[in-house]
Amino acid sequence: MNYKIVADSSANLTALEGIPFESVPLKIIAGDKYYTDNAALDVRDMAEYMKSYSGRSSTSCPNVAEWMDAYGDADVVFAIAITSNLSGSYAAALQAKKDYEEANPGKRVVLCDSLSTGPEMKVIIEYVISLMKDGADADTIEAKVKEYTKHTHLLFSLESLRNLANNGRVSPAVAKIAGILGIRVVGRASSEGTLEQLHKCPGERKAINAIYSEMKKEGYEGGKVRIDHCFNEDIANAMQDIIKADFPDADIIIGENRGLCCFYAEMGGMLVGYEDNR
C-alpha cells in the first residue's frame, strides 16, 4: 500500500521526513501583494509588511483542483484541513476526495476536519505517521484518528486580533480587547472549531500561566506538545520551560508559524497544540 499525507498550509509544515507529503497553500492578499503560503514564502518579510500596511487584507483557501493535484496517485491519502468553521479549505478537500475516489476506484482519501489549525494539526499528523508505519489500512486510520482527536487540543496567546476581526473570524468585541496595549488574549479552538476567548492577560508571563493551567484542566500529563510562534521565541521557550518543570521528559518541539497562521496570529502570537492523557 502506498501512502501520502496532504495538509493545507495552516499546519505550518513544508516537508515531512521520510514520508510522501504535500502542503496545499492558502494565499494571503494585501493590496497589490499576493503571498502564496508555500516553502518559498519569506514569512518574516510578509509579517513585517503586514505590520506597516493598514489597508484591506484577506486570505483565500485552496480550491478543489489544488487538493486533487496534491492527492497525487497514492492508494491511501490522509488529508487534513484547517477548521471548516473558519475556512472553505475543508469543503474543497472534501469535493476533491469525492472526485479522487471516483476517478481511482479502490483508492481512498481519509479526510480530517481538524476543527483547529497549526500545531494541533501537526500532533494529529504525527499520530497518522505512526499508524502508517504500522501498515494500517484506510478504515483503521479513519477510526483511530476520530478517537485520537478527542484528545488533542489547541490553545493560543495573541497580541492582536486585527486580521481575525477584519476578516470576520472573531467577534469585534473580542478583537477590541486585544487592541489594548500589553493585553494578550488567551483562548482555544472550541469543539466546533471556532475561536473561543478564555482570558485577557496583562503580559506574556500571565498568558503562559493561563495556557498551562488550561492544559492541566484538560488533562495534560506530560504528553506531546507542539508550539508554533510568530517571531517570538521567548514566549515559546518560556512555555516549554513551564511544562518541563512538571514533566521533564515531555516531548515538546518549538516551531514557527508559516504564512496563514502568522497572518492571523500576528507578530508575537503563539499556538500550542497538545494531547491530553485521558
Of the candidate spans 54-62, 122-130, 207-215, 223-231, the one that interacts with ligand X90 by CB under 6 A turns out to be 54-62
Task: Pick the binder of ligand X90 from 59, 149, 152, 197 (CB under 6 A).
Answer: 59
Task: Give the alpha-carbon dihedral of 71, 77, 82, 87, to 10 degrees.
Answer: 50
Our CB check for ligand X90 shows the closer of 82 and 124 to be: 82
60 binds ligand X90 (CB under 6 A): yes
86 binds ligand X90 (CB under 6 A): yes
83 binds ligand X90 (CB under 6 A): yes
Our CB check for ligand X90 shows the closer of 131 and 155 to be: 155
Footprint (CB under 6 A) of ligand X90, residues 140-159: 154, 156
Task: Pick the binder of ligand X90 from 207, 243, 265, 272 (CB under 6 A).
Answer: 265
Our CB check for ligand X90 shows the closer of 116 and 232 to be: 116
Task: Pick the binder of ligand X90 from 6, 13, 24, 26 (CB under 6 A).
Answer: 26
Cell numbers placing 256: 514557527
Rounded Cα distance, 106 and 274, in Å: 34
Of the candidate spans 59-67, 145-153, 172-180, 209-217, the one that interacts with ligand X90 by CB under 6 A turns out to be 59-67
Which residues, other chains included, contact 253 with Cβ-Cβ below 8 Å and sequence gap of 6+?
225, 226, 227
What DSSP string runs through 52-94? H--S-EEEE---HHHHHHHHTT-SEEEEEES-TTT-SHHHHHH
CB of 264 to ligand X90, least distance (A): 4
Contact 268, 181 (CB under 8 A): no
62 binds ligand X90 (CB under 6 A): no
CB of 120 to ligand X90, least distance (A): 8
User: Total residues contacting ligand X90 (rule CB under 6 A)?
Assistant: 22
Binding mask 174-213 for ligand X90 (x = CB under 6 A): ---------------x---x-x------------------
Q: Chain-centre distance of CA 159, in angstroms? A: 18
270 binds ligand X90 (CB under 6 A): no
50 binds ligand X90 (CB under 6 A): no
7 binds ligand X90 (CB under 6 A): no
Q: How far is CA 159 from CA 94, 132, 187, in A?
A: 33, 38, 12
Which residues, other chains included, contact 97 with Cβ-Cβ below 8 Å and sequence gap of 6+?
67, 71, 79, 109, 111
Cell numbers placing 115: 476543527
Cell numbers placing 224: 506531546
Q: How far is CA 106 from CA 75, 97, 139, 185, 201, in A?
A: 8, 13, 13, 47, 52
Our CB check for ligand X90 shows the closer of 11 and 141 to be: 11
Task: Give the alpha-carbon dihedral of 12, 16, 21, 22, to 10 degrees.
Answer: 30
Q: Which residues bind ligand X90 (CB under 6 A)?
A: 26, 59-61, 82-83, 86-89, 116-117, 154, 156, 169, 189, 193, 195, 261, 264-265, 271
